[in-house]
Amino acid sequence: MDKRAFGVIPNYRTADASLPYEPISASHKLVIGLKDSFDGPTFPVAAVFATIHQAENDNPSFGQGMAGWARRFGTAIGDQVICNMMTESFMPMLLRQDPRYFRIGKGTSAWHRAAYALTRIFVTLNDSGKRSFNYSEIVGNAIGATIANAYYPDGRHLSDNVERLGIQCFTDGLSQMAKEFWPDVKHMLFHRHEAASQPLVSTAHPLP
């Protein structure tokens, strides 16, 4: 598996659903969370979110200018790190659930694969290999949204917490959909490039 889907999205927790299930250790779950949290693209992604929030003047107490942008950048990183560690490490370790995304790949329709990827925020596997409600995703992100009250002075209402939970879960669903289809996109792009770079072979008879 590539370390990053589309060169940006951390891809350390994608597994092949067609293979026999094997559980992973608690230390492996911790490593997955750490790698996803501190992967290189985490910081430019946080910068993008900080710029968007600055333009929309979210959390106006942060102010504007570089100081305001720096606060938004820091909170964006905090959101990613806390939610990743909660949903991919701490809650899976506590609840004995598997934080990996099991890619189904080819063999079914694109619509089915997209729906499968999006709904994995609600369905996961226990360490025993049995399907279960994804408490790690929902509860982990809910805890992350609650912790964020400590550094979002303008967003401590219940509605703000629910909004943060919804955005994080939806973002995770889109991330899983990207992981599901990235190998197909990569194959299509590189296959076309390789085909275009192949020299033409003449089928005409050689001149005597």
Q: With both helix axes pointing from N to C terminus, report the angle between 65-85 and 42-56 in degrees, rounded to the nearest 10.
A: 130
The 10s digit of each residue's pLDDT in 7-43 is 777 788 999 999 999 999 999 999 999 999 988 788 8
Percentage of the chain modeled with pLDDT above 70: 90
- Across the chain, mean pLDDT equals 88
Predicted local confidence at residue 173, as pLDDT:
94
Helices marked H in 38-134:
42-56, 65-85, 91-95, 110-119
Per-residue pLDDT band for 191 (boundaries 50, 70, 90) equals low
Q: Does position 122 have pLDDT exceeding 70, yes or no?
A: yes
**Strands 131-133 and 123-126, how do they pair?**
antiparallel
Measured distance CA(134)–CA(123) in Å, rounded: 5
State the average pLDDT over residues 62-67. 95
Measured distance CA(58)–CA(151) in Å, rounded: 13
Residues in the chain: 208
pTM of the model: 0.82
Predicted local confidence at residue 16, as pLDDT:
93
Owner of token pair 């279960």 = 132
The answer to whether 1 and 32 are in contact (CB under 8 A) is no
